[in-house]
Amino acid sequence: MGLRKTSTNIALPDENVENENREVPRDFTQLKFQILSLEPSERRWAARDLGNHPEGVPILLETLETETVVPVLDAIFTSLQKHPTHECVNGLIRFLSSEDASVRNNAIEVLQSMPNALETHILSLLNHPDSDVRIFAIDILQQLVHQNAPEWLKSVLLDETHVNVVATAVDRIVEIGDSSILPTLERVAQRFAQHDYIQFAVNTAIERIKEDTYA
């Protein structure tokens, strides 16, 4: 998959894969063994087929810990996206701390497609002790189709103290906020009066929101 895209639909593996011959059936028990195969093509098939089994979610999540072949990873994320459950969200959240940018960005993309299951987790992510994870949580909100997303970002703008996290929130609020957020942005400018970049980001955000509002 590579870098994260704005779409929340994970790209399916190349359609040519449909023409490949299988040597292992789709039986769930067999798939549990096939996902451990030394052959990437077999692991990819298993990852795709496990998406048809809700009980396959923990297996797919566990496989993410060690899998390195991109087509297999693509298949895993595609299958996980079929299961917008708390179990799946819980499992994906830990990959927000992954050192692999591709895995991390794809986890963000899948989480963006699960607004209802993610709802009970978003506040804890926005208050995570790791500032990078807080930034990734804000990235999720940018494309999360949820009515509370603007309010969640507003809470970050009001309470966050880390400059980089605040800067990210200011940038993202432009995409999902409206004129009601302008007083909050002005408060951000006051709180970070000594930070030139925050001043620039806030002024830019205010201008863009006003342009969109009064266009």
Alpha carbons 67 and 103: distance in angstroms, whole number:
10
In this prediction, residue 11 carries a pLDDT of 47
Mean pLDDT of 62-79: 97
Q: What CA–CA distance (Å, rounded) separates 89 from 112?
A: 10
Residue 98, helix vs strand vs coil: coil
Chain segment 110-127, per-residue pLDDT in tens: 999 999 999 999 999 999
1-118 and 120-215 in the same fold: yes
Please state the separation of Cα 83 from the chain's center in Å.
14
Contact 41, 13 (CB under 8 A): no
Biggest CA pair distance of the chain: 65
Measured CA to CA, the distance from residue 113 to residue 78 in angstroms comes to 11
First vs last Cα of the chain: how many Å apart?
Answer: 37
How much is the pTM?
Answer: 0.83
Q: How far apart are CA 74 and CA 154, in angstroms?
A: 33
**What ranges do the domains of the chain cover?**
1-118, 120-215
Q: Tell me which amino acid residue 105 is.
A: N
Statement: 120-215 belongs to CATH 1.20.1440: no
Which fold would CATH assign to domain 1-118? Leucine-rich Repeat Variant (1.25.10)
Residues whose CB is less than 8 angstroms from the CB of residue 192 and which lie 6 or more positions away in sequence, other chains included: 163, 166, 198, 199
For residue range 44-61, what is the model confidence (pLDDT) as tens digits? Answer: 999 999 999 999 999 999
Over residues 171-184, the pLDDT tens digits come to: 999 999 899 999 99
Q: Residue 213's pLDDT band (boundaries 50, 70, 90)?
A: confident
Helices 149-159 and 131-143 cross at an angle (nearest 10°) of: 150
What percentage of the chain has pLDDT greater than the value 90? 83
